Structure 1
Amino acid sequence: MARSKKKEIFRYECTLTGETYKTTKKAKHPDELISVAGYYELNPEKDDRPEHIKKEIEENN
């Protein structure tokens, strides 16, 4: 039986929302990372998500 390769997990925090998320790749500039929610907060005109998703997110907040 072959051993499975272990993936290294990196944890980062969004500079706007404070949300913590994890990735399997190391970021070159971790201080500049933002979450998807933070991106849409900064750029509401680029928010192309369906209306039912937007309503669901508003209800959760």
Structure 2
Amino acid sequence: MARKKKKEIFRYDCTLTGETYKTTKKAKHPEELISVAAYYELNPDKDDRPEHVKKNLEETNE
């Protein structure tokens, strides 16, 4: 039986929101990482999420 490889988990903090998230790939420039929420906050014109998603996020932030 073959052994499973353990994936290494990397944890990073968003530089704007302080939110911690994890990934299985190492970032080349971790000091430049931001969360998806922070990206959309900085670029509202590029926010292409459906309206119901935006509404749910607003309700949970209140």
User: TM-score normalised to the size of structure 2?
Assistant: 0.96
Q: Does 1:10 align with 2:10?
A: yes
Q: Secondary structure at the match of 2:41?
A: helix
Q: 4+ residue stretches of structure 1 with deviation over 2 A?
A: none
CA RMSD of the aligned region, Å? 0.4
Q: Secondary structure at the match of 1:21?
A: strand
Distance 1:54 1:5 in 2: 38
Q: CA deviation at 1:2?
A: 1.3
Q: Secondary structure at the match of 1:34?
A: coil
Q: Secondary structure at the match of 1:22?
A: strand
1:1-61 equivalences in 2 (<5 Å)? 1-61=1-61
One-letter amino acid matched to 2:57: I
Q: How many residues align?
A: 61
Distance 2:19 2:60 in 1: 15
Q: CA deviation at 1:11?
A: 0.1
